């Protein structure tokens, strides 16, 4: 079986490679090298954010790769301090100038911050709609939105988000938010897909990995893609970057899929903040 990354259709007619490379917590000085390595291995989708402070180095690596801009899918996200429309417009321009690109493939609201900005993420979303209309964001979406937040956008805005990027891994399967996405044509992107490494020693994961002759990380990433979600594991280790890319040349059977889904711990399995409460605004 060839290891080919599928392109999945978004609700706006664009497509996204189902596997990408995440750059959260990669130091700016290490980013261009890690992204360059990922592009060499075959990744064609990079997930960055204003908050990560490494957009410039992502852009540098894409240019240095020799690939055409159109061959690499680039996502960035609006930082938490810039939800007011005029701030969002300025921040979006700074993303494009840091990347040295004239468009991003996908731009997201990073967190809903329902306890900030008088609970108004709708005017922020309408500002992202402008970026899509003027072509500088090919697709737009949200991140860390809970079902009530998505329902509010459905009631008050014009564009349905193309994706919702949320925490999902075997200890937090996040079914309710995923199901809402499934019913409303919003693709789920699973962040921290291997729970930053925490799930890799789990006896069930280790057992499934032994059965299929793959590594625990490959098994968990394969579980995500068989569920239809988009993933972008992060690593700065060349061997792991390569390992995480090789997940399309084997399959998990229903029993293995169910055993992994059965590891869900609900809210207790969350490794990041709860989006209903998270209110962090970087200095
Ligand atoms: P992850 O689940 O991808 O885990 C990354 C860590 O796991 C690495 O630092 C490394 O220590 C380890 N690892 C990676 N590959 C491995 C392998 N093959 N074997 C053993 N260990 C391995 O965690 P993440 O970086 O938090 O999430 C991935 C991406 O998701 C981020 O880089 C970012 O792009 C995105 N993200 C988004 C949000 C959000 O709020 N939208 C939050 C967190 C992460």
Pair of tokens at residue 203 = 């006896």
Cβ–ligand 1 distance for 240 under 6 Å, the answer yes
Per-residue pLDDT of the chain (283 residues; tens, 9 = 90+): 899 999 999 999 999 999 999 999 999 999 999 999 999 999 999 999 999 999 999 999 999 999 999 999 999 999 999 999 999 999 999 999 999 999 999 999 999 999 999 999 999 999 999 999 999 999 999 999 999 999 999 999 999 999 999 999 999 999 999 999 999 999 999 999 999 999 999 999 999 999 999 999 999 999 999 999 999 999 999 999 999 999 999 999 999 999 999 999 999 999 999 999 999 999 8
Cα atoms found within 13 Å of the Cα of residue 100, Cβ hemisphere only: 9
Kindly state if the Cβ of 22 falls inside 6 Å of ligand 1: yes
Instruction: Give the span between the Cα atoms of 95 and 76, in whole angstroms.
Output: 8
Nearest-5° angle of CA 73, CA 233, CA 163? Answer: 50
Residue 103 appears among annotated catalytic residues = no
Specify the long-range contacts of residues 262-266, CB closer than 8 Å, at least 24 apart.
262/204, 263/170, 263/171, 263/199, 263/202, 263/204, 263/205, 264/170, 264/171, 264/172, 264/173, 264/175, 265/171, 265/172, 266/172
Distance CA 83, CA 126 (A): 11
CA distance 122 to 128: 10
Measured CA distances, 274 to 40, 58, 99, 146, 270 (Å): 36, 28, 30, 10, 8
Nearest-atom index, ligand 1, CA of 197:
7
Residue 31: predicted pLDDT: 98
Is 113 near ligand 1, meaning CB less than 6 Å away?
Answer: no
Say what the pLDDT of residue 203 is. Answer: 98
């Amino acid at each position: 079986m060839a290891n080919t990354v599928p392109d999945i259709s978004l609700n706006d007619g664009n497509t996204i490679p189902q596997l990408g490379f995440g750059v959260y917590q990669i130091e700016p000085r290490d980013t261009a090298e890690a992204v360059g390595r990922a592009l060499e291995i075959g990744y064609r989708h990079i997930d960055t954010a204003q908050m990560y402070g490494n957009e410039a180095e992502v852009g540098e690596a894409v240019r240095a790769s020799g690939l055409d801009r159109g061959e690499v899918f680039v996502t960035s996200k609006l930082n938490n301090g810039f939800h007011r429309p005029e701030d969002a417009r300025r921040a979006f321009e700074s993303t494009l100038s840091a990347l040295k690109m004239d468009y991003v493939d996908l731009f997201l609201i990073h967190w809903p911050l329902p306890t900030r900005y008088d609970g108004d993420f709708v005017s922020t979303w309408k500002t992202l709609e402008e970026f899509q209309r003027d072509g500088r964001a090919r697709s737009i979406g949200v991140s860390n939105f809970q079902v009530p937040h998505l329902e509010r956008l459905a009631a008050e805005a014009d564009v349905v988000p193309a994706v919702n990027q949320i925490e999902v891994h075997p200890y937090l399967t996040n079914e309710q938010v995923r199901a809402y996405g499934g019913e409303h044509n919003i693709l789920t992107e699973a962040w921290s897909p291997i729970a930053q490494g925490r799930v890799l020693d789990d006896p069930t994961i280790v057992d499934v990995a032994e059965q299929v002759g793959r590594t625990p990380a490959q098994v968990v990433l394969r579980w995500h893609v068989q569920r239809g979600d988009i993933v972008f594991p992060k690593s700065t280790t060349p061997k792991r970057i390569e390992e995480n890319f090789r997940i399309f040349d084997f399959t998990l059977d229903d029993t293995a899929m169910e055993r992994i889904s059965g590891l869900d711990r609900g809210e207790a399995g969350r490794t990041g903040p709860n989006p209903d409460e998270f209110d962090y605004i970087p200095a």
